[in-house]
Structure 1
Amino acid sequence: MRTWLLARVHLGPLAVLFALTLSACLLVAGLPRATESAYDQALQRALTGAPGVQTDLTVTVGSWSPALDLRERAQFDTRDRLWHEILPAGLRPLVTGPGHASAKTTLTPIAGTGGSSYLNVGWLSDADRRVEWVRGRAPGASSTMRYEGETIPVFEAGIVDEAEREMGLGIGKTTVIGEHDYAAVKIVGIFRAKQPDDRYWSHHNDLVHVLKQQPPGSLDFEKHATALLSDAGLAVLSGEGRNLAYRWTLPLDPRGATALAVPGLLDDVAEFGRVVDVQSNGPVSPYRLETGLPNLLTGFQAELSTAQTVMSLVLGGLLAVALGVIVLALQLLADRLDHTLSLARARGGSLAQVARTAAGLTAVAVVPGAVAGYALSYLVPGPVLPIVHAGPVFVVLVAVGFAAARLALAHRTPLHERREDVATARPSARRITLEVLIVVLAVAGAYLLRARGLSASAGQDPFLLVVPVALTVAAALVTLRCYPYPLRLIVRLAARGRAAVPFLGLTRAARARAAAVLPVLILLPALAVSVFAAVVTDGIAGTQRLASWQQTGAPIKVTSEIEIPAETIDKIRAVPGVEQVVLAQRGQVQVGYGAERAEALAVDVAQWRSILADAPVSVPPLSEGVLVSPELRGRGTLDLGWQSRLKLPTRGVVESVPGFFTKGKFLIVPIGVQLRPAVNTLLIKGDADVAELAALAPSATVISQEGALAAIQEDPLTSTVRTTLAIVTAALAGYALLAVVLTLIVGAADRARAVSFLRTLGLSDRQAQRLTVLEIMPMIIVTALAGLCLGLALPAALGPGVDLSSYAGDLPVGDYSPDPVLPSALAAGLAVVAVLGAYVHTAISRRRSLGAVLRVGDLT
């Protein structure tokens, strides 16, 4: 048979096949690239946003004797080259820039302070590029001095102005450090970081800030500062008698990180740590690797696994529905070829010839469509995954294979005849048993998934991917087996009426042939996955809003480490958009008379509750007394030390305080109990400009609920999940509508023949339209309801297996309350398309003459 001639004759169905194949291949090849690109961006953002001390690779070794000391820059450079040489291949693309080395002491007390103040010394290999001297001069060579009868070294060093202010150090002052092996530090200059926000300084926060620590059981804080030495100071710095550590930092460049490489990066970091451990600087001084990169990658991998699971579910459903619509279009082509192939078989054509013709004719449409969709997918930025190549090939194989098998089975015998008066065949006992088994296994799988949760093994849990498929197949089987029975009951009721159209339309719907199975298998997963995606999207959106309020505790929150002046508060009240300002004081209080501490918030709770009237969070009412955290419950009246001694009775327990506390020991007190509240927090109602408020209070931090929500929503992984769900929902809705249209077209010839018969008996055009609607609407309505119920049930069934808290501000997404808008829109869209199709079909049938439809003898 001549394939190209058949292609010209059946150009319409082939054009539909081409368009469907193109869209399916574009989606199956383009969406994975887009999602993987977003995964890469999310990883790079996570690594970039983390401090350098967590992401960078730092090799460290201690020294406690002169034999282990490193006194020259060349010794550090030699080891730096070694670390780069032994770096695993997977890490080398990420460690592209030069590293730096440092030598620093720790826990070196200032003599005579009783351990309350510590002054360490440190050396940086790239200090000349990192700091600038604002007062005094850069340190030079060391000297010596006599102290308690001994000669001790005197290091020339520089400090930051914060250390000068907090520690009482100044230019020209010499400070003795140590407990027994003394040394002295002479301050000769004040420096500051050239780029204080550089991730580099997270490794050396002790050099640019004074660190305060509260020892266990103590009410006072220790102060720790580090002074910067020169190369000459390094030459006399020894680990003998003090805690001295050398570090080599290999900075990580997150721009080259990819999500696909995360498992390999974890292995490479472990391997690098193992190789570093076997290096030695002596018999008792091993090197070790310090990095927080594995923790960051492991946390990202957990978030990524959830995203991949959700994407696998929705993309798998999208691919199944797309293939179903393609198969429905192939059914249309098969019906058009039925007469031609029957004639060929009657004239001696072989079954192989029939299969080759069907496969070749299908390939004429689907191969160019697949190539076009595959080519267009390269316009989508992202890495080329195996699914990009395999997806279009799979679509082509399924389409060509189904066409060949379908027509070969239909024409396995020449001159095949079909009984027009038989609706359906009774299913065998074996088939019924298999279908019941599938339903039971699907329900049992959903129960087990909720009972056991996810597998603890790495990667995606296959059980999580199998259960939704099994539930969809089970729902389709139940729908197919059950929906004719209520229709037959309605038919019996319609038979008692005088109108013939309802009886005829519903009878044809109830006695639909096996061809009606395919639309059900397409519409049900399409609606189920789209409703599932919409419900999950709504659940994430609602939880994101809740998380943003819990992070801020007010429409706008202003916090400061120091007291906010009254004149600043007045200026803030006058800013356009500010409706109400609630004053608050946050601090740490002493519980009792011991060392127990708790976080406290003093605020007018009634005013605070008023600005949270429309928010999804709130706080219990409090007029007097104190609200405590669960860890402080059951203590009755609390004796607190905060500016003055306070005795306040416990009036309630709060699990968390929005905007302030989520765990630990904390409490809320009325702000009026303070003699003079030192206001350092403002809770603002209104839509004022955050930048303007920040300009009025430069020492404070200003955040808004809208800004916190935007930050959550703009996270690459979060936006990818929501965007992909939206795209899939729209695509599935489009495929569902196409399925309805194709269903009308596939049954058009048989329907036109039936309507033509009835027209000879006086059927009007309006009655013909009603007949067509009543014939197709039951299948659409029942399938839509089944898909809607399945889509609403899937989030609950998969609840413990899909943890979406990473995309909702670290709050668990558990509120999957259905939003009626999208399901109603989908159902309405399907109904409208069905009704319009009925009208179009009737209009086309009306223009045909009865002789074009009925053959001689049909009316006898």
Structure 2
Amino acid sequence: MVSIGAAARRVRAYGGQFLLLAALTLVATLVISGVPRLVNGHAQQGLEAHLATVAPQQRDVTYSSGSLAATDNGTSLLAAHQNELVTLEAGMPPVVRRMVEQRWFSGETAVGRVRGPDLAAKNLLVDLGLRSVTGIEEAGTLVEGRWPADAPKGQPVQVTLAADVAGKLNLRVGSRLTLTPPGPATPDAPLPVQVTVVGLFQPRDGADGFWDGLPPLLRIGEPEGDGEPFIAVGVVDGTALNRQAVAGWPLTFSWRYRLGADGIDVRELDQVIDGLQQMTRETAGRNVVQGLDIPLRAFSAEVASARTVLGVIAAGVLATLTGLVVLAAGLLARRRRAEFTLLRARGGAATASAGRSLAEALLVVPPAAALGWLIGNLAPGVSGQTGWFAVAATVLVVSVLPVATLAASTGAAGRRDLVRVRPSARRLTVEAGLLLLAGLAVVLLRRRGLTPGEVDPLLVSVPVLLAVAAAVVAMRVYPWPLRLVSRLAARARGSVAFLGTARAGRSVVAVPLVVVVLAIATAAFCAVTAAGIEASRDRAASRVVPGDALIQGDRIAADTGAELERLPGVRAATPVLYEAGQRLAKDAIGTDTRLGGVTVLLVDGPALARMVREADVDVAVPAALRTPVGDAGPLPAVVSPAVAAELADAGLDGSAFVPVQGQRYEFRVAERVENFPLLRADSSRFVILPWQSLPRRDYAAVPTGFLVVGDKLDAEALRGVGDAGQSRFQTGGTVVARERPRGVEVLTFADTRRQLGEGGANGVLAFGFVAGAAGGTALGLLAIAFTVLAGARERGQVLSRLRTLGLSRRQWRGLLVVELAPLVGVSVVTGALVGTALPLLLTPVLGLSAFTDGVEVRVAFEPGLAAGVVALGAVALGFAVAVEALNNRRMRLGEVLRLGEES
């Protein structure tokens, strides 16, 4: 029967060792409980930030009906369908219903021809629709007049128009119009309606998505061709609209719901996506339009990839903690070996010492585990289902100490550093099995792949197995060169190098070496993978902006390039032309090849090559685009593999035609590339032509954008010059457009690169890398301290003897450095090599391209990593020597020699 009081006294007697075991337990359960909460918290913040960047209209779920006719039975068609706003919301899946922030209902008539004296004064042909929308008075501000109301029977229908729409149509408050129903005039057709404009309004926020709809309320629909009308929409009262339905005007209805981020839990992301898809399938006779599932799927892919990476990091950290627990338990058991031996000598059973250790562990470990669990639960974020993992970790730590006690009480107590221990056949078999298992696990993982976001046992075991296998190899290999060095040192003068290398070559460091390699491999994996992602993001940004800035618009005057180069900081500007959806032709007259549409890009190859060099971006310009102005004949073109294969099959790879701004150019396939800058990431059908080689035509190709390189570029100044160039082209021809062109878009490399590293699940990934690198380094240093303490008593005895023989304090420190340097260096270098190899093996299956805009993550050697390894090795060695010096000062070497003699 184990006495609780006696166990408590023994815990107090060996308080330092038990405190260390308790601290490791606390850290383990803190990691198990706190890290998932932090990850979920970062993911939740990322989801909210991600949804905040989504356009408001993309967060809408819209139900719509077909044309419905009313009957004069005393019921309101509009009111009956407006009541469905609540019914449809109640039928949504719960996870989607919780996200609804705003809801709107609208009913409208089809557009009909409208006439009036104000329209006739400008000779305008206009179609007008009538719409009733809930919430419009809150979303808009009256500029003049009032909002529409229900007019008495026989009076004109009151309409309120957007101020910009009314101005372009020459309408004002008081304008009288006659609205004719659409369709042919038949005896059953509704009668024309008199309409009067009673108010003008402006939106409070034209970009909040409330005003989206077809036709739009805030702008006029341009005519699609000559003789076609403008299209406008006016706001009417709901009762007036219902009266029009009774009069025979068919109505269509829509129910729109704005979804927000407040009602979504990141843990329910997949359920939300499935719910949106379910709503799309189960339409209940209505059309359903929603686009939120696309950004949610993109975010879900990022979260899944981040969780997969975190699983790898967590496996390394927890495996390192397990090794540290084993080291701590082993150190405690070895310190008490004499006690356990005496207990056996007095007739105690083989399990008596293990029972003592179990009772002591039960006094220390569970309270520490509970404390760590409680502290971890204080972390911000929603909790994860990790309770059973914490219980399993606690049981594991409790059981380690009795097992270590059994091993210590049956092991030899002699000095193992005086003989060369030959490994047993059993141990060699186990080590060979570990090497084989690690190789097999890597092969299986690469062939099988994985499901991102899930805790895959094979995935989390591969890094641990590789680290253990590498540590086993290092443990078997590194003593041999040390013994050779020791023989050479024996012939030299001085004893420090000889004694240090001899002791280092005979040291037994199986478990400590494995633990250090695990910890350093985890830290190196985080550093190398993070560097690979950063480099891949640079390439992704270079693909969008292969310079310092990119101006995109419609057609921009060619002299805009010279205007841009006059701006402060701009060194050069080159034009680009982008057109999508062009059809390839067999000849100059346009005989269709029936090969499908392509995207056409024109670039000045030599200028682009110079600019990418000046901007120092990772972009290669194909040689076919850098050809000088050539003779007559097909233009050398760079095409995508899909287009090249189709042209080759049709026998057109030597000569085909592609339209550019209405003119056809002959080209031949000169090179094939999978992708090219300035094109969309998913572009798989494109033709790129060298602008400098275009033949002369009556109408020269007009740029749709400009690529700019320079220093400290002012985006607003670039936008101003681009807008001016776009307006100059539109108003400088013989035909002048009616509408002012949409403003140009300015993308800078710095902004594009920053956007790739912000938002989404990047916070989760960054947290994992920082925590893994810092935790791996700290645990590695702790493992080195354990390694030093494990052999401290034996080294203390040797140093005591050598000090009595005249070894100076300086020589003593040198002996410590020589003895500990091989172990520290081998463990750090081996861990760094494993950590560098892991990304090469695992990156193809981790799905990290979700964080790099689809660009494949390539891990390469970083010179900074070598410097980091050297610095870490120096810090680790200094830390090891400091721990040894402090331990020797605490134990006092003379007392170690007198009281700790085991010879």
TM norm structure 2 = 0.78
Aligned mate of 1:90, from 95, 104, 123: 95
2:606 matched residue in structure 1: 606
Residues 603 and 271 (structure 1), Cα distance of their counterparts in 2 relative to 1, 3 Å cut? closer
Aligned mate of 2:83, from 78, 81, 90: 78
Aligned partners of 2:497, 2:688: CA distance in 1, in Å? 70
Within the alignment, does 1:791 sit opposite 2:791 as a pair?
Answer: no
Residues 538-584 of structure 1: CA deviation (Å, up to 9, x unaligned): 111011111112222321223334647979974x6555433334455
Residues 768 and 582 (structure 1), Cα distance of their counterparts in 2 relative to 1, 3 Å cut? same
Within the alignment, does 1:129 sit opposite 2:138 as a pair?
Answer: yes
The more displaced of 193-202 and 689-698 is 689-698
Residues 850 and 76 (structure 1), Cα distance of their counterparts in 2 relative to 1, 3 Å cut? closer
Structure 1 residue ranges without an equivalent (≥5) = 146-152, 278-285
1:729 CA drift (Å): 0.4
- How do residues 559-638 of structure 1 correspond to structure 2 at under 5 angstroms? 559-561=552-554, 563=556, 570=563, 573=565, 575-584=567-576, 586=578, 594=590, 600=600, 604-613=604-613, 614-619=616-621, 620-624=625-629, 625=635, 627-630=637-640, 631=643
| Count of matched residue pairs | 828
Aligned partners of 1:211, 1:50: CA distance in 2, in Å? 25
What amino acid maps onto 2:106 in structure 1? S
**Is the contact made by 1:637 and 1:647 (CA closer than 8 Å) also made in structure 2?**
no
**Is the contact made by 1:206 and 1:226 (CA closer than 8 Å) also made in structure 2?**
yes
What amino acid maps onto 1:819 in structure 2? E
Aligned partners of 1:470, 1:799: CA distance in 2, in Å? 17
Residues 849 and 739 (structure 1), Cα distance of their counterparts in 2 relative to 1, 3 Å cut? closer
Within the alignment, does 1:819 sit opposite 2:866 as a pair?
Answer: no
**Is the contact made by 2:800 and 2:897 (CA closer than 8 Å) also made in structure 1?**
yes
Within the alignment, does 1:403 sit opposite 2:401 as a pair?
Answer: yes
1:712 CA drift (Å): 1.2
What amino acid maps onto 2:715 in structure 1? V
Aligned partners of 1:607, 1:531: CA distance in 2, in Å? 41
The more displaced of 777-786 and 742-751 is 777-786
Aligned mate of 2:678, from 641, 644, 659: 659
Within the alignment, does 1:259 sit opposite 2:266 as a pair?
Answer: yes
Aligned mate of 1:428, from 418, 422, 425: 425
Within the alignment, does 1:305 sit opposite 2:324 as a pair?
Answer: no
Aligned partners of 1:657, 1:140: CA distance in 2, in Å? 57
Within the alignment, does 1:40 sit opposite 2:84 as a pair?
Answer: no
1:838 CA drift (Å): 3.7
1:336 matched residue in structure 2: 335
Residues 422 and 448 (structure 1), Cα distance of their counterparts in 2 relative to 1, 3 Å cut? same
1:708 CA drift (Å): 1.0
Residues 243-279 of structure 1: CA deviation (Å, up to 9, x unaligned): 96432223222122121112333454466667763xx
The more displaced of 203-212 and 472-481 is 203-212
Aligned partners of 1:857, 1:441: CA distance in 2, in Å? 42
The more displaced of 242-251 and 750-759 is 242-251
Aligned partners of 1:136, 1:453: CA distance in 2, in Å? 66
**Is the contact made by 1:71 and 1:234 (CA closer than 8 Å) also made in structure 2?**
no
1:808 CA drift (Å): 1.2
Residues 759-809 of structure 1: CA deviation (Å, up to 9, x unaligned): 455555454444433433333333333322322221222233111111112
Aligned partners of 1:857, 1:560: CA distance in 2, in Å? 83
What amino acid maps onto 2:14 in structure 1? H
Aligned mate of 2:517, from 502, 521, 524: 524
Aligned partners of 1:736, 1:521: CA distance in 2, in Å? 10
TM norm structure 1 = 0.82
Aligned mate of 1:471, from 463, 466, 476: 466
1:174 CA drift (Å): 4.9
Aligned partners of 1:221, 1:438: CA distance in 2, in Å? 78
What amino acid maps onto 1:258 in structure 2? D
What amino acid maps onto 2:62 in structure 1? T
Aligned partners of 1:731, 1:239: CA distance in 2, in Å? 73
- How do residues 433-448 of structure 1 correspond to structure 2 at under 5 angstroms? 433-448=429-444
**Is the contact made by 1:447 and 1:797 (CA closer than 8 Å) also made in structure 2?**
no
Residues 199 and 348 (structure 1), Cα distance of their counterparts in 2 relative to 1, 3 Å cut? farther
RMSD: 4.6
Percent sequence identity is 25
Residues 461 and 176 (structure 1), Cα distance of their counterparts in 2 relative to 1, 3 Å cut? farther
What amino acid maps onto 1:324 in structure 2? G
Aligned partners of 2:220, 2:486: CA distance in 1, in Å? 85
2:382 is paired with a residue whose SS is: coil
1:480 CA drift (Å): 3.8
2:203 matched residue in structure 1: 193
**Is the contact made by 1:546 and 1:616 (CA closer than 8 Å) also made in structure 2?**
yes
Aligned mate of 2:691, from 641, 657, 670: 670
2:707 is paired with a residue whose SS is: strand
Aligned mate of 1:555, from 548, 553, 577: 548
2:83 is paired with a residue whose SS is: helix
Within the alignment, does 1:689 sit opposite 2:737 as a pair?
Answer: no
Aligned partners of 1:409, 1:164: CA distance in 2, in Å? 92
The more displaced of 703-712 and 444-453 is 444-453
Aligned partners of 2:228, 2:320: CA distance in 1, in Å? 65
What amino acid maps onto 1:453 in structure 2? G
1:816 CA drift (Å): 0.3
1:723 is paired with a residue whose SS is: helix
Aligned partners of 2:142, 2:103: CA distance in 1, in Å? 23
Aligned partners of 1:117, 1:628: CA distance in 2, in Å? 47
**Is the contact made by 1:590 and 1:642 (CA closer than 8 Å) also made in structure 2?**
no
Aligned partners of 2:128, 2:445: CA distance in 1, in Å? 57
1:103 CA drift (Å): 3.0
Aligned mate of 1:505, from 489, 500, 503: 500
**Is the contact made by 1:741 and 1:834 (CA closer than 8 Å) also made in structure 2?**
no
Within the alignment, does 1:702 sit opposite 2:709 as a pair?
Answer: no
What amino acid maps onto 2:242 in structure 1? A
2:262 is paired with a residue whose SS is: helix
1:539 matched residue in structure 2: 532
Aligned partners of 2:16, 2:346: CA distance in 1, in Å? 27
1:706 CA drift (Å): 0.6
- How do residues 48-197 of structure 1 correspond to structure 2 at under 5 angstroms? 48-63=52-67, 66=70, 71-95=76-100, 97-104=101-108, 122-132=131-141, 134=143, 160=162, 172=176, 174=178, 176=180, 178-180=182-184, 188=197, 191-197=201-207
Aligned partners of 1:859, 1:139: CA distance in 2, in Å? 103
2:626 is paired with a residue whose SS is: coil
Structure 2 residue ranges without an equivalent (≥5) = 116-124, 630-634, 724-742
